[in-house]
Structure 1
Amino acid sequence: MRGGPRGSSNYCPIILEDRRQSDGPRPFRSLDSCFTHEGFLRMVKEEWKGLGEAQFTDKLKAMIVPLERWHKDNFRDMDKKIMKFEEEIKKINDMVGDGVYDGTMEARRKALVTCCEKWYVRKELHWKQMSRSRHAKDIDKNTRYFHNLAFARRRNNRIDAFLINGRLIRNQARIKIAIRDFYKNLYHQEESPLVGFRDGLVEMIGEDDALALEVQPNPKEIKEAVWDCESCQVPGSDGYNMNFIKRCWIEIGSDFTAAVMDFFP
């Protein structure tokens, strides 16, 4: 166990390390923090166009290799990059404390602080996305912290008092009986009518309606369906989340739309 860098916070994180064996290669995940880099979308656009007329799913699979390579070249060892900026900022602060100061040094310090803040934002986005992964949830689901969260939610959802026929009831057993009887009466049915398929329950739709059900969705309808999805949800089996799809749709434009439409035979 060791303390981590404080950064822009007032507290230092505690890092607990164990000696578990590696679970093998990590699966690919599209990371939202990559979009904070100026050259990421440009790289994605160039790689996507270079794949030509391949199918949409095939393009996504082929994009995994350049995305992993780009992330390794630009986002590897974020902690070391942040530490390097902090060390340079500390050197300048020490020089200012010793009386050495000029405009160039101040401009250098501001540039270092800006870069350091960018990397802190990227790191925060990275760990926020990682915290939503199923793997992280499965590891921590039996810890005392998550049990306390579950107990707190249970307390908040608890019904301590109930108004029944103008009387305030606090007895938990009577509250349960009242709730059960309410829904029992609400969904109670004296007898079930016997309705057959020949009694008009099922009607054949017209030819126009049948053809309308088989019409392929247009780009506008597909885009509306994509934009209705949560951007930062956990990535699917292919490793891409909806934020990646939306950003590529905006930046790549017609080439990306055409590939999506080809996905629908």
Structure 2
Amino acid sequence: MGDINCVRTTEERISSDPPNLPALEAFNDAIANSDLHDLKTNGCYFTWTNKQEHGDRKWMRLDRVLVNSVWLTSFPDSFAEALTAGISDHSPLIVSLPSPVQKAPYSFKFLNCWSQDKLFLPLVHKEWAFPVHGCAMYKLMKHLHRLKNPLRQLHKDSYSGISDRVKKLQQRLHHCQLQLQQDPTNSHYITEEESACNDYCQIRNVELNIAYQGAKDLDIKMGDASTSYFFSKIAARRNYSNITKVLDLHGNLCTEAKDISDAFIDYYTSLLGFEEKVTDFDTQIMLNGHSLSGAESCNLLAPITPQEVKAALFSIDSNKSPGPDGYSAGFFKAAWEEIKDSFTSDVMDFFITGKLLKENYKFEGLGNATYEFLERDIRILVQAKSSQNIATLHSSNLICSAKQKSQGMEALSPSLRFHNLIVLKIPRHKHGI
């Protein structure tokens, strides 16, 4: 913590002098090699100035707080604040260690490593064999909801405490190898070492897979970094994403967790909670632009095919963030042979009827707020870069917008998450704000 006398990026300086790129690169390498991360910092962005006249004034972010992964694990809600410099040329830094905030229970999230378990497909098959009556969309949603508890139990039985298990297996491997050093030709010790090595590699790969999925550092390929790197990335990202204070609609500074939450709800309610008349577009202007040919128009109206549904789904990276129900694209791809008929029927039924479920559905991890799936008119807008590829875009590049039928924003079904569009209804306060 203090004056490092070097910036990390060119954006951290305002100066007419050219940046020292070798020093910048060396500084970033030293931080990475030391497993250090910038602590989340509020307040002044630039922490040093030479206080010269306007034309010669320089600004740089030289003062910072660097912490390691142990700190981030021990004090996940900690943050720094850079105050105004006053008569000094450097901004004072204050590190705060707020009282731990009671976190909401972790919501369900599908881990890709589950799909490699020998029990995964039998669990999916058993659930999909369970009779559910209703439309295609309801049946898919019901199956996904019922499958969560078996998957949670699978995680508890085989994947809980994964880091501790890795350490124990590493110690076992170490012990076996020490025994071999004492008796290198002992066949029993050789067999034990081979077994211990296989068990360790298998469980360590699972740990790395979980860490990689959580870190989402797509610039790093599997195997290029240790699990400690990925877990430190997760801790750093969680610290950086913490919101420690915010101004509400009335300009009041909110620092308590509940006040911050209420400020966000009030803000987005004021944005999304009211209908607003919009100006109709000029059809004459539209006609003066490029128009689709008859064949192109027919392509836009062509029925969605099962092959297009599968192609759209499988084009999504398995490590992408899941939808509100916790299921990522990795689940649907891994269980495709078991669920393909149900999933495809759901999507195609939507494009045929243009309607979603009228169901109450509580998203896990969002408290007791209830979100409604309301029947609505759906407008499908297709964006194409050129007329040549219009015929192939009506499944993979869909943007769905819903006509409001009630106050507030409505919610699109989680079964449409592969279109990367989820809109949540924000309940209106009783006083109408």
Same structural fold, with TM-score higher than 0.5 when normalized by the shorter chain = yes
Larger strand proportion of the pair: 2
Unaligned runs of 5+ in 1: 1-10, 143-194
Change (3 A) 1:31 1:200: closer
Measured against aligned partners, the alpha-carbon deviations of 1:224-259 in whole angstroms (never above 9, x if no partner) come to 111222222111211111111111113555455456
Per the alignment, residue 79 of structure 2 pairs with none
Q: CA deviation at 1:132?
A: 3.2
Measured against aligned partners, the alpha-carbon deviations of 1:18-47 in whole angstroms (never above 9, x if no partner) come to 263440210111111222323223322222
Per the alignment, residue 266 of structure 2 pairs with none
Preserved contact between residue 56 and residue 263 of structure 1 (Cα < 8 Å): no
Give the one of 74, 98, 108 matched to 1:18.
74
Residue 103 in structure 1 maps to residue 203 in structure 2? no
Aligned-pair identity (%): 20
Q: Please report the TM-score for the alignment, with normalisation by the length of structure 1.
A: 0.61
Per the alignment, residue 239 of structure 1 pairs with 326
Per the alignment, residue 93 of structure 1 pairs with 177
Q: Distance in 2 between matches of 1:225 and 1:233?
A: 14
Give the one of 94, 116, 120 matched to 1:36.
116
Per the alignment, residue 67 of structure 1 pairs with 151
Q: CA deviation at 1:100?
A: 6.9
Structure with the bigger RCO (C-alpha within 8 Å, sep 6+) is: 1
Q: Distance in 2 between matches of 1:21 and 1:225?
A: 40
1:247 aligned partner, one-letter code: A
Aligned alpha-carbon RMSD (Å): 3.8
Quick check: which has more Rg, 1 or 2?
1
Q: Distance in 2 between matches of 1:100 and 1:204?
A: 79
Per the alignment, residue 199 of structure 2 pairs with 115
Q: What SS is found at the alignment partner of 1:231?
A: coil
Q: What SS is found at the alignment partner of 1:15?
A: helix
For these two proteins, the number of residue pairs brought into alignment is 203
Q: CA deviation at 1:131?
A: 1.6
2:306 aligned partner, one-letter code: P
Preserved contact between residue 56 and residue 262 of structure 1 (Cα < 8 Å): no
Give the one of 216, 219, 226 matched to 2:306.
219
Preserved contact between residue 55 and residue 262 of structure 1 (Cα < 8 Å): no
1:29 aligned partner, one-letter code: K
Measured against aligned partners, the alpha-carbon deviations of 1:131-174 in whole angstroms (never above 9, x if no partner) come to 239996352259xxxxxxxxxxxxxxxxxxxxxxxxxxxxxxxx
Preserved contact between residue 51 and residue 59 of structure 1 (Cα < 8 Å): no
Q: What SS is found at the alignment partner of 2:74?
A: coil
1:47 aligned partner, one-letter code: E
Per the alignment, residue 7 of structure 1 pairs with none
Change (3 A) 1:206 1:75: same
Residue 45 in structure 1 maps to residue 125 in structure 2? yes
Q: Please report the TM-score for the alignment, with normalisation by the length of structure 2.
A: 0.40
Unaligned runs of 5+ in 2: 1-33, 36-67, 76-99, 218-233, 243-281, 354-433
1:140 aligned partner, one-letter code: Y
2:237 aligned partner, one-letter code: K
Preserved contact between residue 179 and residue 189 of structure 2 (Cα < 8 Å): no
Give the one of 193, 196, 215 matched to 1:131.
215
Most deviating of 246-255 and 70-79:
246-255
1:69 aligned partner, one-letter code: Q
Q: Distance in 2 between matches of 1:117 and 1:136?
A: 26
Change (3 A) 1:196 1:211: closer
Change (3 A) 1:211 1:113: same
Q: CA deviation at 1:110?
A: 0.9
Larger helix proportion of the pair: 1
Q: CA deviation at 1:76?
A: 0.5
Preserved contact between residue 69 and residue 235 of structure 2 (Cα < 8 Å): no
2:194 aligned partner, one-letter code: K
